Amino acid sequence: MRAAWVLLTALAALAAYYVYVPLPGAVSEPWKLMLLDATFRAAQQACHLIHYLRLSHHLVVLNYLIGTFDKLKSVSSEHINITDAVFDGVEVRVFEPPAKQDETLKRSVVYIHGGGWALASARTSLYNNLCRIMAESLNAVVVSVEYRLVPEVCFPEQFHDALRATKHFLHPDVLAEYSVDPSRVAISGDSAGGNLAAAVCQQLSKDEHVTIRPKLQALIYPVLQAFDFNTPSYQQNMNMPVLPRYVMINYWIDYFNGNYDLAHSLLINNHTALDVSQALSFRGRLNWTSLLPSSFRKNYKPVIQTTGKAEIVQKIPALLDVRAVPLLAENETLQLQPKTYILTCENDVLRDDGVMYAKRLENAGVAVTLDHFDDCFHGCMIFTIWPTDFSAGIQTRNSYIKWLDENL
């Protein structure tokens, strides 16, 4: 009996050691965040083992686990009609509030989900719940894009899917079918979905054949660049749940169908060293020493290699492709962007991506709202359903929907 108690005590200590991650004092609900992070890490490690044994790709297994526990069928609620459709070959889920007697046309949001271009779905409960609440709160038609994922496809296919679905919806006949006001359409997304939303919005702004363009873009902790993995937020939050720096770098490698052997070189910015000629013209567009306020720069120093590895960019030219890294777009493109909302979290490696994009857009003459949360973390806005319900999720979601309601 005594041996059993010793074993249980040892297991409890090991579990606590695995779960515990040092967190800043300002993070809301730290132990709940640690438990969420430990669960995700355990699932990732199990999936990597399956990958190592060559039984399946780790992202396929991880997405299967997510889908098994989370996938919802297309079921309409009492207040929102939820249907699945196909827009120009791309699956979408459409959330429609009931028509009102004195109403002619509704406003609308095209929403692109996050997940590192590899995980989640418009059909999971997390995004199903978010889009349903958006449709109810805004009395708006919400189109959630079900783009294809890594490893089935890699860049630029996710971008192409999001662009095709959005352009299809913006066609006057389709907007009329859903009773949507053409002058009141927004495009939005979180994390990797924010990346796709920003890239699609840039492309639409340059397409002379597009007659209807988004009135607004709303980007939630977007990932916008792979040029510098040592911005202050990358350095400050390198081990922060639920998106440590090495995980974000691996998402980029998977998105570009690259080799994990490149991870360390990317981490120390070897791909954008001063002797990498392809990167020189972009350096001024991502100078965080001038784009970030001093409260974010703190005492962090830029990591700029004198000599690096030009072959990385030669192997993966998408590292500098604005369709993948919209923060690197030229000013002429930024000037064409619509009124913009960007939500950032202090405890997030991607904080500075969003802050720098807000500053560049502002410098280009675009009206920008930067909504920053000191106590929140990456991904928090979708975590509003038990058992992964966080006050940070409710707080950020309410602020985001409030801005849309006031501006769309």
Q: How confident is the model at residue 74 (pLDDT cuts 50, 70, 90)?
A: very low
- pLDDT grade for 407, boundaries at 50, 70 and 90: very high
- Which pLDDT band holds residue 69 (cuts at 50, 70, 90)? confident
Q: pLDDT class for 30, splitting at 50, 70, 90?
A: confident
Rg of the chain over all Cα atoms, to the nearest angstrom: 21
**According to the model, what pLDDT value does residue 401 have?**
98
Torsion of CA 43, 46, 47, 51, to 10 degrees: 170
Structure tokens given for 217: 């873009």
Question: From CA 370, how far away is CA 340, in angstroms rounded?
Answer: 8
Q: What does the pLDDT look like over 104-125, one tens digit per residue?
A: 899 999 999 999 999 999 999 8
Structure confidence at residue 329 as a pLDDT band (50, 70, 90): very high
The band of 248, judged by pLDDT with boundaries at 50, 70 and 90, is: very high
3-state SS of the chain: helix, strand, coil percent to 5?
Answer: 50, 15, 35
What band does 266 get if pLDDT is binned at 50, 70 and 90?
Answer: very high
Quick one: pLDDT at residue 35? Answer: 85
The residues annotated as belonging to the active site are 191, 348, 378
Q: Is 386's pLDDT higher than 90?
A: no
Phi and psi, residue 136, nearest 5°: -70, -45
Would you put residue 118 in left (φ > 0), alpha (ψ -120 to 50) or beta? alpha
How high is the pLDDT of residue 23? 81
pTM: 0.94
Q: Strand ranges (DSSP E) for 116-267?
A: 140-146, 180-190, 216-220
Percent of the chain with pLDDT over 90: 76
Confidence of residue 371 (pLDDT cuts 50, 70, 90): very high
Run of H or E residues at 26:
none
Predicted local confidence at residue 288, as pLDDT: 96
pLDDT of amino acid 73: 43
Buried b (16+ CB within 10 A) or exposed e, 162-187: bbbbbbbbbbeebbeeeebbbebbbb
Q: Which residue has the higher pLDDT, 174 or 52?
A: 174
Please report the pLDDT score of residue 17 as a whole number: 55
Check pLDDT > 90 for residue 354: yes
Residues 152 and 64: beta-carbon distance below 8 Å: no
The answer to whether 230 and 264 are in contact (CB under 8 A) is: no
SS3 (DSSP) at 6: helix
pLDDT at 171 over 90: yes
pLDDT higher than threshold 90 for residue 144: yes
DSSP strands (E only) in 280-393: 339-347, 368-377, 384-385, 388-389
Per-residue pLDDT, averaged over 354-375, amounts to 98
- pLDDT at position 330 is 97
Residue 132 has pLDDT above 60, yes or no: yes
Confidence grade of residue 162 (pLDDT, cut at 50, 70, 90) = very high
